[in-house]
Chains A and B, each alone.
Chain A
Amino acid sequence: MRARALCLVALLVAVAIAPACSSSPSTVVVPPGGAGYGGRFVYPLRFEPLTLNFVTLSDQTSDYVARLVGDGLVDRDADLRLVPRLAESWDFTDGGRVLTLHLRGGVRFHDGAPFTSADVKYTYERVIDPKSRAIGRIDGFLPVERVETPDDLTVRVVYQHPYAPALAAWEVPILPRHLYEKDDFLTSRYNRAPVGTGPFRFVSWETGRRIVLASNPDYWGGRPFIDTFEFQLIPSQETTLQALLAGEIDYASLSPVQWKAHAQDPAFSRRFETVRYLPLFFLYIAWRGDGSTPYFADPRVRRAMTLALDRDGYVSTVLQGSGFVPDSVFHPAVLAPDPALPALHYDPVRTAALLDEAGWRIDPATGRRARAGVPFQFNLLIFSGSEDHVQFAQVAQESLRRLGIDMTIQRLDWPTLWSRLQKGDFQAAVSGLVAGVDPDDTAYGLLHSSQIKGGQNYAAFHDAQVDAWLEAGRRAVDPDERRSIYRLIDRRVAELQPYTFLFFPMTQAAMSRRVRDIRPSPRGIIAQYPGVLRLRVQ
């Protein structure tokens, strides 16, 4: 017993000493701040980043850190408008085929080295290098023919064809070439201790616990108001709320029920301010329409499915109204809603009529729908980790049951669900997608026939007309022309319904009233510019 106690003490001591050695916040020199400067902002993360390499990262968590430590050439403001960042200005020539970016002068990386066009070119090269596996970034650079650097502050990007969404890809934070060139790109130590030109310097990453950033006093855009930005890893949603209540974090997004429970409480609203926004994330059901099931190859059946699901009812009751039901592929902030687009509201009568028309009639003997002896029974795959998937599926199951359709639900973990989506080994599946700020980003992946194999067109949707429009949308440089192209796509998709777009769940967050001067964009409070740079803590 005594030996065990000794072991414990030794271990406790070892653990107690360890953090003192690993982090070294004292090395960051912060000049005495003026009015409104100082303070710490703590933001919860559910998932740990895998890498902080600006190029190879592929998850939202690491993207947040990268946007604070690094700078892209361009960014989006709180209203998703394009704003300059490391590029002061840009212009398109040669009918939209050549993009010339004029870089900001006098910018330095956190280690003091100057930022030049060579760093931009290096970042581009790392993205397209297959060895980097930069899957989250590569799509926007695939149409690039070459990148030229006529001088230190000019970058000329030549595309294979006029490419309208070109600037979206240049949000990638720029890597310090001089540091990365020295060792292996994938195992470089800067992947866990990134160096950029951004408003915050990296301080420490304590695995599984937190990532600490300190303000960059020499930032070209002016020093941020807060001194410390800390990400705390809290894997459980329930614990996140409790941590907010305990004052351990400054911001937490709440589930609708959590929200309902606390919004009425005056003590809660005295301490916390409401932050609401409609994020770019939406849920949809993909109906596998390639004929592998007898049901969903017929657009009438797919439209009937959409009409059978009470999306508005789900949003108003289960989500307590905090969500948006689209009939379009696009987030309202990405493409202004089309007033002429027909809405597909819940309508069991029209559903029944459409199903009858498609041959799926109620068998009087069983009360279930069937066609030529084949009963209408299918399996819906959902992701077991999402409350929205689980709850919506149960509601859908009940609605369909009343219409004479038997749907079973199968819960899968993410890799399994994904692998079955990719193989097309499913009949119907709920999935979610974070839309890009450019309409092409969402629509091309979901709808273009080239994306059926290996891409995101899980419904196996194949329509020559939509393919042609999608390609035209990529090349059209005129914004009005683009908008009308995407509206055409929307109408065609509403008619054919390869997917049912379920809803955009509204993010409702509570933020400590100590925090001022931040407004969420559809990408949240961090992924915008200047955003956090202007955030103040009292």
Chain B
Amino acid sequence: MGGEPAAGIAGSALHPPGRAHLLGTDALGRDLLARLIHGARPSLLVGFGATAIALLVGFCAGAFAGLRGGLADLLIVRLVDVVACFPPLVLALAFVAATGRTGLWPMLLGVALSRWTSMARYVRGEILRHRGGDVWVSARAAGAGGGRLVLRHLLPLLAGPLLVMTSFGIAGAILLESGLSFLGFGVDPPTPSWGSILAESRATLDAAWWPVVFPAAALVLLLAALCAAAERAAGSETRGTPLV
């Protein structure tokens, strides 16, 4: 497996792909394949974790606002407005900096913070749209309360579009993570993430193509797979679902 991803100064820095190192080594002589495998964890954790949090928070906030209406709705709508006014990268970056520490968790939360608003917005909009519709009225007539209404009747209706949003959300979160790494706010070394491997190896781009191309290819394949899975799962009728 090419040894630990955090090995010290090895003799063979920037070794091209070959038998000893299938994907070559980076500037510190670490095996790239090992780093890519270890780097999958933080990348996926940020992608899935942040999106899960964003989905949960966004769904609850959106559903609550849509069902309650009135002051609660107004406050949540305003909060969404406020948070959405910050560019995502700046928001995540400021959050990471404000916690005063780098690492997986601040980044995960920072990415989630900048991504929950679109979910909340969408869910609220859908609830308002379905309000008074057939499903709504019949469920109400059968005595369903707000929470039950949302979970049993509305959720299945929204599942497809939400799945698409989630997949693209994961892709977007991973891209955001790599952007943060590029700007120097990534996970702490020696933990690699695909984004930070990419960011670290840009300095050696014209000496060695492999430390840039392989993590980039890994990212592209993962994201494309996510998107394709979403398309298939949700069927083509959801192709108009908002992604951002």
Contact = CB atoms under 8 A, between A and B. Distances in A.
In the complex they form, do A and B come into direct contact, defined as C-beta atoms under 8 angstroms apart?
yes
B188 A408 contact: yes
Interface in B1-18: 6-9, 11, 13-14
24 contacts: A238-B202, A257-B203, A261-B204, A261-B206, A261-B207, A310-B9, A317-B11, A317-B29, A318-B9, A318-B27, A318-B28, A384-B102, A390-B189, A393-B189, A395-B9, A397-B6, A397-B190, A398-B7, A398-B190, A410-B101, A410-B102, A411-B188, A411-B189, A416-B97
A7 interface: no
B71 to A, nearest CB: 38
Contacts of A391: 27-28
Given A257-B207, A318-B9, 13 more contacts: A238-B202, A261-B206, A317-B11, A318-B28, A390-B189, A390-B200, A391-B28, A397-B6, A398-B6, A398-B7, A412-B100, A413-B185, A416-B97
Contacts of B13: 317-318
A83 B29 CA distance: 46
User: Interface residue tally of chain A, by bracket?
Assistant: 20 to 34
B100 A416 contact: yes
A409 B28 contact: no
Interface string A352-392: 00000000000000000000000000000000110100110
A267 to B, nearest CB: 13
Contacts of A258: 203-204, 206-207
A155 to B, nearest CB: 45
B79 interface: no
A422 interface: no
Interface string B192-206: 000000001011111
A293 interface: no
B188 to A, nearest CB: 5
6 A-B pairs with least C-beta separation: A261-B207, A398-B8, A384-B184, A257-B204, A394-B190, A411-B102
A314 interface: yes
B203 to A, nearest CB: 5
A391 B7 CA distance: 12
A241 B101 CA distance: 32
B46 to A, nearest CB: 16
Given A257-B27, A412-B102, A416-B100, A317 B190 contact: no
B9 A409 contact: no
A385 B184 contact: yes
A413 B96 CA distance: 10
B184 A313 contact: no
Interface of A: 237-238, 241, 255, 257-258, 260-262, 310, 313-314, 317-318, 384-385, 387, 390-391, 393-395, 397-399, 408-413, 416
Interface of B: 6-9, 11, 13-14, 27-29, 97, 100-103, 184-186, 188-190, 200, 202-208
Contacts of B184: 384-385, 411, 413
A336 to B, nearest CB: 31
Contacts of A260: 14, 207
Nearest to B12: A317
B34 to A, nearest CB: 14
Contacts of B101: 410
Contacts of A412: 100, 102
A314 B9 CA distance: 7
A390 B208 CA distance: 19
B190 A409 contact: yes
B192 to A, nearest CB: 10
Contacts of B103: 410
Contacts of A257: 14, 27, 203-204, 207-208
A258 B101 CA distance: 31
Contact of A387 (B8, B203, B207): B203
A418 to B, nearest CB: 13
Contacts of A416: 97, 100
B14 A395 contact: no
B102 to A, nearest CB: 5
A317 B207 contact: no
A212 to B, nearest CB: 29
Contact of B9 (A241, A313, A410, A413): A313
Given A318-B28, A390-B200, A413 B190 contact: no
B62 to A, nearest CB: 31
Contacts of A310: 8-9
Contacts of A261: 204, 206-208
A524 to B, nearest CB: 21
A455 B169 CA distance: 46
B203 A238 contact: yes
A317 B189 contact: no
A257 B205 CA distance: 9
Nearest to A245: B206
Nearest to A257: B204
